[in-house]
Amino acid sequence: VSEAFLDTLAAIVGPAHVLCQPADMLPFLTDWRGQRRGSALAVVRPGQMTEVAAVLRAAGAAGVAVLPQGGNTGLAYGTLDTGPGQRIILSLGRMDRIRALDPVGLTMEVEAGCILHTVRQAALAAGRQFPVSLAAEGSATIGGIIAANAGGVNVLRHGMTRALVLGLEVVLADGTVLHGLRALRKDNAGYDWKHWFIGSEGTLGVVTAATLRLLPRPRHTMVALLAVADPAAALALLVLAQEELGDAISAFELMAGSSLALVERHFGLAAPIAPAPWFVLMEAQASLPGLAEATDSVLATALERGHAGDGVVAASDAQAQRLWSLREHITLAEAREGASIKHDIAVPVPAMPGFLAEASAAVERAFPGARLNPFGHLGDGNIHFNVLAPPGTDAAAVNDLVHGLVIASGGSISAEHGIGRYRKAALLAMRSPAEIAMMARLRAALDPGGVLNPGAVFD
Ligand SMILES: Cc1cc2nc3c(=O)[nH]c(=O)nc-3n(C[C@H](O)[C@H](O)[C@H](O)COP(=O)(O)OP(=O)(O)OC[C@H]3O[C@@H](n4cnc5c(N)ncnc54)[C@H](O)[C@@H]3O)c2cc1C
């Protein structure tokens, strides 16, 4: 690719926004753990949608691939490529404006590069909430969570990102702009095409802005940490809590005792209750009064029935935050502990205790010295079944073992992190040839030149 192509990019976005020096590009080409490095001709940082369209047209004409990127917190190496061909990273970070917030219609229009935490704070400041919440929300962007259809800790009540997107503005590979920033709750006029792009991991179009669905900000929040004997007891607790509190239960996280031990070792954060084999972190939210009393009654019943052994309820926002920070530090503590083999699996909720017992025993038997760090969203049937394996362990063999059990349980090998470049082989193992062929036809129809993120999701 000639200097002329880079000059064209500079003319579109401004020379300051085309990064070509290795040191400048490094943060965009390295995953958050520093384990994987990609390569690119340049990192291009458009400031508006028309610039995105012009960059895509120029790249298509030059035969250069375009890898859209938000906060680069994705866990599936979605934009880290070293394969043949030339590519640029299209970083949406400069497009970070909140354009409008409608507290009556409960909607918010934001640009793709807006940081998730900023969006959440803006909603709270207006007495509303945007419930997608995850440990990387200080860096993850709205475009990234949409392209990944991110989950997070509030899926139990509010669904995945898909459930919270009302409209999208998307630029296709040939520069065509789809203006779909509609703020309607009901709109069955033709195909609801926004869903093609939600979860498409940058392979079908570039999301440049979104209309998000907000909710009223709840008046009361309850956060509790409970010690449980095993995942079956945690599930019994979930059933009880849902029977008593209904859909007020917004988060129900399971954490192995070994996970919290890692958090204490690496960050000095300790659970305010005695060590236990497993813990549940539970959050409920409501605007009507009575949540505290209802929670007390659930906890009393749980202790009486033996679902939980010990527990603590946060008495202030600061205490609630301290409990949540235990959960939020697990991934970071795991990274500090060393290399790990990750599995973002889903199985039907009732199957989770059986799966965890079987998979744990199988991994420990087949890979002596492996330590398990399972934690995650039990209420959604999604656990991060991570394995801290001794050096030299065959990661592919661990993956095969775990994923085989997941598929046998009727589950998914990617609950919320997507496929990226990390799980392509596993995707082929769990989707039929007919489904893959249909996805390939959709991709070819929207991007016949193969400009957008080639090498991601499937080849
Ligand atoms: C500590 C930690 C905790 C996490 N916890 C969770 C969790 O609980 N739940 C969860 O679901 N994820 C979680 N993640 C993963 C990650 O944060 C999410 O997938 C997030 O949605 C990625 O957003 P991003 O802006 O960083 O996207 P990136 O990493 O930049 O990109 C992710 C994918 O989206 C595409 N993309 C990005 N922006 C656009 C755009 N504007 N248009 C088109 N395609 C685009 C990219 O090409 C790539 O394929 C976690 C990550 C970390 C590091």
Distance in angstroms (rounded) separating the CA atoms of residues 429 and 412: 10
Please list, in sequence order, all residues whose beta carbon lies within 8 angstroms of the beta carbon of residue 171, skipping any fewer than 6 positions away. Answer: 49, 52, 53, 56, 177, 178, 205, 206, 208
Placement of tokens 């969006």 in the chain: 119
Closest Cα to atom 16, ligand 1: which residue?
74
* SS3 letters across 233-284: HHHHHHHHHHHHHHHHEEEEEEEEHHHHHHHHHHHCCCCCCCCCCEEEEEEE
Ligand 1 centroid to Cα of residue 150, in Å, is: 7
Which tokens hold the place of 27?
């943060």
Distance in angstroms (rounded) separating the CA atoms of residues 273 and 377: 21
Ligand 1 centroid to Cα of residue 305, in Å, is: 40
Ligand 1 centroid to Cα of residue 196, in Å, is: 17
Answering whether pTM is above 0.75, one says: yes
DSSP structure string for 308-327: -SEEEE-SSHHHHHHHHHHH
Determine the atom of ligand 1 nearest the C-alpha atom of 151. 11
Closest Cα to atom 21, ligand 1: which residue?
145
Ligand 1 centroid to Cα of residue 201, in Å, is: 9
Ligand 1 centroid to Cα of residue 146, in Å, is: 8
**The dihedral sign for the CA sequence 68, 69, 74, 80:** positive
Ligand 1 centroid to Cα of residue 184, in Å, is: 26
Determine the atom of ligand 1 nearest the C-alpha atom of 420. 49
Question: Which of 299, 381, 386, 291 is closest to 337 using CA atoms?
Answer: 386
226-255 burial, b at 16+ Cβ within 10 Å, e below that, comes to: bbbeebbbbbbbbebbbebbeebbbbbbbb
Show the ligand 1 pocket: residues with CB < 6 angstroms.
Answer: 32, 67-75, 78-79, 92, 112, 134-136, 140-141, 143-145, 147-148, 150-152, 201-202, 206-207, 331, 416-417, 420, 453, 456
Residue 35's pLDDT is: 87
Question: Which of 94, 154, 146, 91 is closest to 116 using CA atoms?
Answer: 146
- For a mutational test of ligand 1's pocket, the pick from 66, 69, 283, i.e. the residue with the most ligand atoms closer than 8 A to its C-beta, is 69
Please list, in sequence order, all residues whose beta carbon lies within 8 angstroms of the beta carbon of residue 320, skipping any fewer than 6 positions away. Answer: 221, 223, 283, 314
Ligand 1 centroid to Cα of residue 157, in Å, is: 21
Mean pLDDT by 10 residues, the chain (459 residues): 92 98 97 93 98 98 97 96 94 98 98 98 98 96 98 96 98 98 96 98 98 97 97 98 94 97 97 96 96 94 95 96 97 93 97 98 96 97 96 95 95 97 93 97 98 97
Ligand 1 centroid to Cα of residue 115, in Å, is: 11
DSSP structure string for 417-432: S--TTTSHHHHHHHS-
Closest Cα to atom 7, ligand 1: which residue?
152
Residue 1's pLDDT is: 66
Determine the atom of ligand 1 nearest the C-alpha atom of 456. 49
DSSP single-letter state for residue 228: E
Ligand 1 centroid to Cα of residue 198, in Å, is: 12
DSSP structure string for 180-227: E----S---SS--THHHHTT-TTSS-EEEEEEEE-EEPPSEEEEEEEE
Residue 33's pLDDT is: 87
Distance in angstroms (rounded) separating the CA atoms of residues 333 and 439: 37
Ligand 1 centroid to Cα of residue 200, in Å, is: 12
Question: Which of 120, 112, 168 is closest to 145 using CA atoms?
Answer: 112
Placement of tokens 């590519």 in the chain: 87
Determine the atom of ligand 1 nearest the C-alpha atom of 201. 49
Please list, in sequence order, all residues whose beta carbon lies within 8 angstroms of the beta carbon of residue 160, skipping any fewer than 6 positions away. Answer: 149, 150, 151, 416
- For a mutational test of ligand 1's pocket, the pick from 73, 92, 169, 253, i.e. the residue with the most ligand atoms closer than 8 A to its C-beta, is 73
Crossing angle of helices 330-337 and 257-267, rounded to 10°: 70
